[in-house]
Each structure stands twice: as structure tokens, then as C-alpha cells.
Amino acid sequence: MSTEFVIHNRCRLALHTLSAGDGRALLLLHGLGERSPGTVPVFAQRWSGPVVALDFTGHGESTMPVGGGYTAEILLADSDAALTHLGEATIVGRGLGAYVGLLLAGARAEHVYGTVLADGPGISGGPSVPTSQPVFSLESVDRTPDPYALVELGRDLRPPDYAATFSRMAVQRSALDEPITVVARFRPSWLQAVVEEPGVAEAGSIAEALVSYRS
Amino acid sequence: MRRSVNQVLESYAELRSLHHVPTASPSLAEIAGGRAPDREYRINADGVGIAVHEWGDAVAPPLMLAHGGFDFARTFDTFAPLLADAGWRVVSWDHRGHGDSDHAHLYSWDADLRDAAAVFEHAAGRHAVPAIGHSKGGALMIQLADAQPYRFASLVNIDGIPSKRPIPDVAEHERTKMLVGELTGWLDHRQRTAGSQRKPGTIDELAKRRGRMNPRLSTEWLRYLVTVGATETDEGWRWKLDPSLRFGGFGPWRPEWALMRLAGFGVPFFGMLVEIEEEMGWGTVPDDVRPFIPEGGRLEMLSGVGHFAHIEQPTEMAGRVLDFLGAPE
């Protein structure tokens, strides 16, 4: 495994190459509180291109910010920095990474060739409507994951219609007929809304979903 | 000795009129009518340095004052002294990335709320105090009052009540295209911000640039703002605002959600909307807000002024606020 760093504003983000290969990269986005895997996951072992994995801000070997301020949209920009570095990629997102992967699929549809949304930590997010959520502050720690990431990204608002808009953007602008495949078995309201959109496929496993995204 | 509201406003009007008398070399502050804070210091908000600015007697009752997006506390240099002279200790702060506060790694609404709570805690402990918010600061105060009602004795909101965005009646695919444009613009901006700096210029150039956000404010005022909101470097003046911050944006948050919180307020509320719409405002009209005004709350439409009413008409605005708040106890 080799690691390089991409820059997103004031943060250095660790981008790990788990295996080399020819062709389009497979970009793995981890779940909330996780970090990139150290080896190629079983589901990606038949991928012919490079398999790379990004540590989000405040996770793994990436910068731990001071004073919190996390949003899923900031992680979208993290993954966009990785995508720019790679040129184009197929995405597999776990949990929080699935939600971020969906946002990236919509925002950069021309550069994302298929996105797989899988179960994992942080898949629920927070409420889908406004609530009186507490204002809090947390003790700082000296290594990732950042406690602010765990709390703020564990409760970020994910209205179903907002999520559905991103899948619509992906479907309208992707070269694929079905640019998003949902393999997650647990489906919070944002993900259920995505599944119900035209152009969103379902599959029984990540490996199965990736078959249709091989170049 | 504490002075009455009228005495304060009369002396202020007199002071303003004096500024029209030519002097040998009036400072920008004199020309613009601004008065620097009596005390300035920083607090540590979970590792982020937040600059606090106070006007008035240090032992007077606190009155919190929250600025709007892309503004900073010193934009209250004409308004805050009027409140202080009526007996309040006016406490304002620069949001993270704004004014003299630290440029942070990350910015979010929740982070701004947390920083605001830290300033309230520092200035007033767990005592309920009155607060004023303008624009984004008004919306922040609405949410903080919902999350931490024990901090608020009353709330004044100056053109800071968000309501549903006026989205043109366009087809779905056109709306998607608009969002794609916003998204890619924002993502492209994020890729350029590492190590970027605000564009340098002369005082006049920076004032002219800011004039696009503040078209109704005088050139004298904008030039003065440069001297308190920008830093002079070898290349010229640069606004202190973090260059990674960008106007507009997107996200799951809906402006009209503020109204739902407003309806449940348990403290006196005074909201003001302005007649003249400006780019920096939400364009909220009274009919949007009236159904959500809390029991006993007040809502006024101010005619003939724009989004920065407290800068356009500081005397009149201070009069309204002081009348609502009553004398400090």
C-alpha cells in the first residue's frame, strides 16, 4: 500500500493506493469513525484498475481540524479533491461514505462511473426535519477520529428530497443508465427516497454491483 | 450617570452633525461617525480564537449583538455605541473566519452556534440576557434561543428572519441545472482555496468592491470599514475575511425552518423587516413571518431602508431597540 496526500483547503487528505492496476480507479469511501482499509477488500479483488481509499477530514491519516464544523458537504469536497486527483472513478461508499458518494455522483456525474451505496457506520445521519438539537462542545483529542466528526456527521440533516435531487442529477448527466446501485440492507428515509428514483439499481452485494461498472 | 434614550440619541445626532463641519484632517472614523469598541479581547472557543468587541461600561448589563454573514463586529461601530450610551454593555463578536477571529479549518452553522454560545457563556454565564441579531446573526440567534432558551431574556431581529427562497417557476430539469451550477461552482472554489488570499487593493478599491454588497451605504462608511475590517500589507489592503468563505451555496438546510423555531419562543421578541430588498437579505416579507410570530411578539416593516438598516439609520434603529428593551436593570 502506498499513500499520497491531496489538499482540500487547510486539510491534507490521505489517499491510499491499496492495489495498482490499469484503467479506471475504484475509490472507496469509509464509514463514520472508520478509516481506509489497509488491504483490498474481497469485493474489490477482481477490479482491474487501481483500488484507492480516501481518509475523510478528521479520520485516519488526514488532518484533524480544530473546533469542528463538519458537514457532509465538506466531505463531498474532500472526495471531490480525490476524484480530481484520479481523473475519473467508480465509487463504493460505506455508511457515511455512501451518503457522500451519492452527493459526489450527483455533483460530478461526468467523472463518476457508477456509485455503490453500502451499509456501514453513519448511514442514518440525523433527522430529516429541523429539531432542537443541542449546542455542545467537546474535549479535544490527539488522534483521529475527531470527536466532532463523530457527533456532527452522526446527526447531520438528510432530507429525503435533498438526497433524491442528487440521484436525479447523477441519472440526468451520467453516461450510464443506472449510475447508482444500492446494496445497503438498512435504508433510512434518505436512502429509501434514492432507491425509489428512476435510474437507481439494487444489487445483493458490492461485488455484484461492481460487475456492471467494470469498463 | 445613565442617560435617557432621548438624551443619548440627541447627543448622537449632534455628534453626527459636527462631522459635517470641515476640520483640518478629519479621520475616516470621524467622517463615518464610527466609534471603536471600549474593549477588545479573544476567547478560546474549542481551539478557535473568537474576537470579542465590547462597547459601554464593563459592569453594565450585557446586551449581545450578532453580525450578519460576511460582516464583522466593527460594522456596528455606529449602532453599538448608541446602545452602550443608554447603559448597556454591548457584546459583539466576529464569527469564525470573519473580522479578527481565527480562520478555521471548517465552517458550519453548528460551529457558528457553538462559538456564539461560548461568547454568551463568557459574557453572561448562564444568565438570561437580551440579544440582537442582524441578517445571518438574527437567524443564528433564533436557533440558539431554541436550543438554549435559558440564555435569552429577549430577542431583537433586524432583517434576519429567513423565509422560503424565491425560486423562479422553472421546470424540474432547469432547477437541477441551476443546482449543478451552484455545486460545481462551490466545489471548484474549494479546490482553489488552499493558500489563497483576498485580493489586495487601495482603501478606495476595497470600498468599491464592498459597495457591491452594500449598495445603499455611503462611500465614506465603506472606506471606514476597510480600515477596521481589512489589514494593510505590503501589497495593499486585504479584507480579513477568510478567502475560503463564499457567498451563496447549497445544503440540506431550508431557510423557512427558522420560522418553525420562532413560533415557539418564550421570551419577548421584536422582529424588523425592511422595505427595500438587497442582495444580502432574504427578501422576507411580513406575510411570510406573521403566522409564526410568538405570542406577544412584535413585527415591524421599516419603510425606506435596506438590509443594513442599523447602518443607514443608526439613530432611529437604536431608538426602536431601546424602546423595546427598556432600561437596563
In angstroms, the CA B182 to CA B188 distance is 10
Angle at B249 between CA B114 and CA B197, to 5 degrees: 80
Tell me how far the alpha carbon of residue B277 is from its chain's centroid.
Answer: 17
Instruction: With CA atoms as reference, report the closest residue to A199 among A168, A162, A159, A173.
Output: A168
Are residues B182 and B65 both part of a single domain?
no
Give B19's pLDDT tier (boundaries 50, 70, 90). very low
Domain assignment present for B249:
no
- Three-state secondary structure call for residue A63: coil
Are residues B191 and B125 both part of a single domain?
no
Are residues B228 and B260 both part of a single domain?
no
Are residues B142 and B234 both part of a single domain?
no
Cα-Cα-Cα-Cα dihedral sign, residues B222, B35, B45, B163: negative
- Are B74 and B229 in contact by the 8 Å Cβ rule? The answer is yes
pLDDT at B138 exceeding the cut of 90: yes
Is B105–A63 a contact, with Cβ atoms under 8 angstroms apart? yes
- Which of these ranges, A4-8, B29-33, B82-86, has the smallest mean pLDDT? B29-33
Residues 6+ apart with CB under 8 A from A62: A11, A12, A13, A14, A55, A56, A78, A144
Residue B253's pLDDT is 84
Domain assignment present for B208:
yes
In angstroms, the CA A79 to CA A88 distance is 12
Picking from B204, B239, B274, the residue at the C-terminal end of a domain is B239
Q: What is the DSSP letter of B242?
A: -
Q: What is the DSSP letter of A66?
A: S
Picking from B239, B265, B298, the residue at the C-terminal end of a domain is B239
Picking from B208, B239, B270, the residue at the C-terminal end of a domain is B239
Residue B160's pLDDT is 97
pLDDT at B294 exceeding the cut of 90: yes
Proportion of chain B above pLDDT 90, given as a percent: 77
- Which of these ranges, B15-29, B103-117, B224-238, has the smallest mean pLDDT? B15-29
CATH number at residue B54: 3.40.50.1820
Is B190–A80 a contact, with Cβ atoms under 8 angstroms apart? yes
Helix axes B219-229 and B203-211, enclosed angle (nearest 10): 110
Are residues B135 and B11 both part of a single domain?
yes
Domain assignment present for B21:
yes
Domain assignment present for B244:
no
Are residues B122 and B210 both part of a single domain?
no
Is B108–A173 a contact, with Cβ atoms under 8 angstroms apart? no
A6 beta partners: A13
B22 part of contact set with chain A, CB < 8 Å: no
B275 part of contact set with chain A, CB < 8 Å: no
Angle at A151 between CA B103 and CA B261, to 5 degrees: 85
Domain that holds residue B221: 172-239
- B254 vs A13, residue with greater confidence: A13
Distances (CA, A) of A79 to A72, A91, B50, B83, B217: 11, 10, 30, 47, 41
Domain assignment present for B137:
yes
Write out the three cell numbers for A214. Answer: 467494470
Domain assignment present for B68:
yes
Residue A132's pLDDT is 84
Domain assignment present for B177:
yes
Report how many domains make up chain B: 2
Give B7's pLDDT tier (boundaries 50, 70, 90). low
Is A106–B183 a contact, with Cβ atoms under 8 angstroms apart? yes
Strands A89-94 and A112-118: parallel
Q: What is the largest CA-CA distance in chain A?
A: 50
B46 part of contact set with chain A, CB < 8 Å: yes
Are residues B51 and B127 both part of a single domain?
yes
Residue B1's pLDDT is 42
pLDDT at B55 exceeding the cut of 50: yes
Write out the three cell numbers for B99. Answer: 473580522
B11 part of contact set with chain A, CB < 8 Å: no
Distances (CA, A) of A100 to A30, A141, A153, B237: 10, 25, 11, 39
Q: How many CB pairs under 8 A join A and B?
A: 122
- Are B216 and B309 in contact by the 8 Å Cβ rule? The answer is no
Are residues B270 and B154 both part of a single domain?
yes
Domain assignment present for B113:
yes
Are residues B39 and B135 both part of a single domain?
yes
Task: State chain B's mean pLDDT as an integer.
Answer: 90
Which residues in chain A come in under a pLDDT of 70?
A: 215
In angstroms, the CA B132 to CA B321 distance is 9
Are residues B218 and B137 both part of a single domain?
no
Write out the three cell numbers for B262. Answer: 420562532
- Are A154 and A125 in contact by the 8 Å Cβ rule? The answer is yes
Report phi then psi at A49, rounded to 5. -85, 180
Residues 68 through 97 of chain A touching chain B, CB cutoff 8 Å: 68-71, 73-74, 76-77, 80-81, 84
Average pLDDT (B288-310) is 96
- Which of these ranges, A24-33, B30-39, B91-100, B127-136, has the smallest mean pLDDT? B30-39
Domains and CATH numbers, chain A: 2-211 (3.40.50.1820)
- pTM comes to 0.92
Are residues B122 and B225 both part of a single domain?
no
Are residues B22 and B77 both part of a single domain?
yes
Interval B153-204: pLDDT, tens: 999 999 999 987 555 555 666 667 778 888 999 999 999 998 899 999 999 9
In angstroms, the CA A103 to CA A112 distance is 11
Locate the DSSP E strands across chain A.
2-8, 11-19, 25-29, 51-54, 89-94, 112-118, 180-182, 200-202
Give B33's pLDDT tier (boundaries 50, 70, 90). confident
Interval B63-79: pLDDT, tens: 999 999 999 999 999 99
Distances (CA, A) of B114 to A148, A163, B260, B290: 12, 27, 21, 29
Residue B13's pLDDT is 45
Locate the DSSP E strands across B34-109.
39-45, 48-55, 62-66, 89-93
